[in-house]
């Protein structure tokens, strides 16, 4: 990545996703901060499952695929109201269920709108 140094030298923040520069004996990368512990050093969060919301633009039916990252169990559900839980109001999305060691569970959502990719938490 060309801009790695530039990214690592900055604290990147959106309304509720905070990414911090991070370097230790194992990694030199960026780190997701727990959105509920922003003033605390406790940013340890575990990824528990990945949820994929699959559909074409404005499609009414939503296909929801969930993968448990501990057991590998996969569930597949078809939901008639595609806006009921999908982070994207019109397209597909991916959510990662996170469980902080010192905080409440949250979803890290990645979705598209008008060609741009966004991230938020819920």
111 burial type by CB count under 10 A (0-12 exposed, 13-18 middle, 19+ buried): buried
Q: What is the pLDDT of residue 41?
A: 59
pLDDT tier at 95, thresholds 50, 70, 90? very high
Mean pLDDT for the stretch of residues 90-105: 85
The DSSP output letter for 34 is P
Which tens digit of pLDDT belongs to each residue from 33-46? 676 665 555 667 88
- Threshold 0.85, pTM exceeds: no
H or E element that contains 6: helix 4-8
Question: What residues are paired with 53 via a beta bridge?
Answer: 64, 93
At 84, list the tokens: 């009921």
């Amino acid at each position: 990545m060309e801009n790695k140094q530039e990214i690592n030298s900055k604290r990147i923040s959106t309304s509720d996703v905070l990414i911090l520069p991070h370097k230790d004996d194992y990694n030199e990368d960026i780190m997701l901060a727990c959105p509920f512990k922003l003033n605390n050093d406790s940013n340890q969060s575990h990824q528990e499952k990945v949820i994929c919301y699959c559909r074409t633009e404005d499609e009414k039916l939503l296909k929801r695929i969930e993968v448990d990252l501990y057991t590998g169990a996969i569930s597949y559900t078809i939901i008639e109201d595609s806006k009921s839980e999908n982070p994207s109001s019109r397209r597909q999305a991916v959510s990662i269920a996170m469980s902080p060691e010192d905080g409440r569970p949250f979803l890290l959502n990645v979705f598209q709108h008008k060609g741009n990719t966004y991230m938020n938490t819920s």
